[in-house]
Structure 1
Amino acid sequence: MTWDKVISSEVLDIRDGTHDSPKYKADGYPLITSKNLKFGKIDLNDINLISEEDYKSINRRSKVDKGDILYSMIGSIGNYALIEDSPNFAIKNVALFKFKDDRLFNRYFLHLLNSPIINRQIEKSMLGGTQKFVSLKILRNLTIPLPPIEQQKKIAAILDAADAYRQKTKGLIEKYDALAQSLFLELFGDPATNPKGWDKIKLGQLHKISSGGTPSRKKPEFYQNGKIAWVKTGELKAMYALNPSEYITQEALDNSSAKLFPINTLLIAMYGATIGACSILKFEAATNQACAALLPTEKINVVFEYFYFKLYKQELIKMGVGGAQPNISAGILKNILIYYPPIDLQNQFAEYIKAIENQKNIAKKEYEKSEDLFNSLLQKAFKGELV
């Protein structure tokens, strides 16, 4: 099927938000940036507020209206949101698509933005750049397939339904995460305030606490064909550490400060922006020096401890010392007083979490299926194979 094609600027008014940095206020109007564009919607959970004067000044140039689409131009490139309600915010460093031609349906274009057709054009135009940034020039010169408006609406309806199914299954995973955290707080209370009055103990009395190291990068043989997992703080993103992006050799382990840690070691990030991130090892692994390793012990349940430190993250951040990139150390961790409920209650909590994780894994498999379905329909939609 052959469709007409147009350049994006023919059917869209494409602008961007302010490039200035207005002063943030305790009260005022939300300033939307790339981080607030998530899963096709505006996320107001982490928002900065600006004065009415700055709000009006920004909106004289880039006022957002109902039906417009926002697109992240820098950082998390490709995140987008359709404005479905009358907005009361201003934008910074995000593109604004306004629909000036009734030949283009906004929900069709929303899905097109997420398709390989647009992604390939943007990636090709960005080649050679040192910073991840999509310019207005790139966005104004995209080639857009333009089927008849009724076909656009049918394509959008099918993709909307598939996306709703995808978001529903994703939401179920998030609910299981929230359930686990709520259960911890119900049984034990907030680690920062200890409302249940549990006895406290120094972390160093429960664990041997160590840290890792980085084998010399000047010796590529330390990394080539390595079999030993080497975990960095970027892999501490879930209850169990993600599969590492790098592996090292036994020679690297023997000739560096890196150490091999056993299964059920709790890793806690100690440096910079990642302070407090934590994960449990489900496989033997070495780590870099940015990870503290709390070696497994029968004195405390590692699942209980993971949730404790997940909720204690802000307190760890406050303990950071240094300049622009504050750090904590194994010494600081050893002297932290943590509350210490009976081990039987900790183990009971871990069994509850095991049951929740089993259900969560079922939901994850369902989500993977829904993601595959959506991507398959997305591929077909813009080849003219869907309607």
Structure 2
Amino acid sequence: MSTETAPLGDVASFIRGITFKPGDVAPRGVDGSVWCLRTKNVQAELDLSDVWAIDASFVKRSEQYLQAGDLLVSSANSLNLIGKCSWVPELESDATFGGFVTVLRGNPQLVDRRYLYHWFSSSRTQAQVRSFSRQTTNIANLDLRRCFELAIPLPPLAQQKRIAAVLDQLNTLRCKRREAIALLDALTQSIFLDMFGDPVVNSKNWPMRKLGEMGSLDRGVSKHRPRNDPSLLGGDTPLIQTGDVAGSGGYITGFTSTYSAIGLKQSRLWPAGTLCITIAANIAKTGILTFGACFPDSVVGFTASPARVEYVRAWLSFLQKTLEKAAPESAQKNINLAILRDLQVPYAGEEMIQDYSERVQAIEASKGANRAHLATLDELFTSIQHRAFSGTLWDHEATGEAA
């Protein structure tokens, strides 16, 4: 069975937003005003935490009012955000949208709108849309003409609805796993505050120790210049960068670069259990190594007992914003090793620190199980999405085979 497609412009339309000046923004709830959504509201789920309002007279055409089932698309933004979209649910107020976003509205007689959402938000379609964008000096713009020409796979409407329902169910399960992980993260912080109080003000008046007295603090090593010399890279030794630490969620379980034998020789290998602390660009972001690795001097390694490492990681998470704000800035923000070593740490004693560490490890085990399930769901979602939009899922349905 061949995959039937249609140009996107045959089954949906793009609607441009309204234009207004910053001074035209009105308080929400004023008589005669309507909500006005903008690029900031376009997130994985439509973000309604910061919504502007505008006088309804700025809406010149009825089609510029949002409808449930619309896709709100970022159409003038940085390149990596072009095409990003949010599903518009039923809203509690009349709403329009600004000129930096565009609405993609499917014709419900030809395309199921949830199917359209899943297709347009898929990684393949998003990459195509971004590749079409027109780049100016500071901003990229969505090329609507080329987007209209995109070929959307178009099985019968009933099949579209079934595909969308399956993807919706999987996505609901993924969201629940993410929520569970977020709740466990919050639980870790709650336990810390309950046991030790607010570490910023030392609300329980624990005796203080310098961080340099809690364990060993040293900068990573990368002696060779230039640091990106190809001879240094591509071997078997993990190389951790500041971005790996910042995005680790507290535990570094993967890496994107490696050192060769030459790279390892001019660096230092840190053991599993080391707390990595960023001191440049990303300030005071932390992650505990789960394997041996090297890192450059933009990262500091803290080594101590496992319980102290866990305690210091949690303590720094409360101070991160403060340290980042206070960091001196030249070409980029940075702090030095002396600043870290002199930081005052509330010290509640080894018994309480060990107790906290054991509780955290139990929570981490639960988070690990949730992450593993989430990874399985992500893989299944991507697989079904690919099969649905390449036509192979329809072939199974047409022949009566299991999908």
Q: Tell me whether the two structures share a fold, i.e. TM-score over 0.5.
A: yes
Closer, same or farther: CA 116–351 of 1 in aligned 2, 3 Å: closer
Closer, same or farther: CA 6–249 of 1 in aligned 2, 3 Å: closer
What one-letter code is carried by the residue in structure 2 that aligns with 1:279? G
User: Partners in 1 of 2:306 and 2:170 — Cα distance?
Assistant: 48
TM-score normalised by structure 1 residue count: 0.82
User: Partners in 1 of 2:16 and 2:384 — Cα distance?
Assistant: 30
Whether 2:264 is the aligned partner of 1:262: answer no
Q: Which runs of 5+ in 2 are unaligned?
A: 29-34, 398-403
Closer, same or farther: CA 230–186 of 1 in aligned 2, 3 Å: same
User: Do the aligned partners of 2:4 and 2:155 also contact (CA within 8 Å) in 1?
Assistant: yes
Report what 2:260 is aligned to: 249
Report what 1:67 is aligned to: 69
Whether 2:280 is the aligned partner of 1:285: answer no
Report what 1:43 is aligned to: 47
What one-letter code is carried by the residue in structure 1 that aligns with 2:194? E
Task: Judge which range, 347-356 or 62-71, deviates more.
Answer: 62-71
Of the three residues 217, 220, 234, the one matched with 2:226 is 217
Report what 1:206 is aligned to: 214
Q: Which runs of 5+ in 1 are unaligned?
A: none
User: Do the aligned partners of 1:34 and 1:79 also contact (CA within 8 Å) in 2?
Assistant: no
User: Do the aligned partners of 1:62 and 1:91 also contact (CA within 8 Å) in 2?
Assistant: no
User: Partners in 2 of 1:24 and 1:196 — Cα distance?
Assistant: 49
- Matched position secondary structure for 2:103: strand
User: Do the aligned partners of 1:204 and 1:333 also contact (CA within 8 Å) in 2?
Assistant: yes
- Matched position secondary structure for 2:277: strand
Of the three residues 152, 159, 163, the one matched with 2:167 is 159
- Matched position secondary structure for 1:275: strand
Aligned-pair CA distance for 1:318: 2.0
Aligned-pair CA distance for 1:313: 1.0
Map 1:1-387 onto structure 2 (within 5 A). 1-2=1-2, 4-15=4-15, 22=22, 32-33=38-39, 36-38=42-44, 41-44=45-48, 47=50, 52=54, 63-72=65-74, 74-76=79-81, 79-86=84-91, 88=95, 90-91=97-98, 93-100=100-107, 102-115=109-122, 118-119=125-126, 121-122=128-129, 125=132, 134-214=142-222, 215-217=224-226, 220=229, 222-236=231-245, 237=247, 238-255=249-266, 258-272=267-281, 274-294=282-302, 296-298=303-305, 301-323=308-330, 325-382=332-389, 383=391, 384-385=394-395, 387=397
Identical aligned residues as a percent: 25
What do you get for the CA RMSD once the two structures are aligned?
3.6
Closer, same or farther: CA 336–300 of 1 in aligned 2, 3 Å: farther
- Matched position secondary structure for 2:169: helix
TM-score normalised by structure 2 residue count: 0.79
User: Partners in 2 of 1:26 and 1:324 — Cα distance?
Assistant: 39
Task: Judge which range, 99-108 or 231-240, deviates more.
Answer: 99-108
Task: Judge which range, 275-284 or 66-75, deviates more.
Answer: 66-75
User: Partners in 2 of 1:289 and 1:20 — Cα distance?
Assistant: 48
Q: Deviations over 1:285-314 (max 9, x none)?
A: 2212211222x1249611111111112211
User: Do the aligned partners of 1:259 and 1:287 also contact (CA within 8 Å) in 2?
Assistant: yes
- Matched position secondary structure for 2:284: coil
User: Do the aligned partners of 1:230 and 1:244 also contact (CA within 8 Å) in 2?
Assistant: yes
Aligned-pair CA distance for 1:69: 0.8
- Matched position secondary structure for 1:331: helix
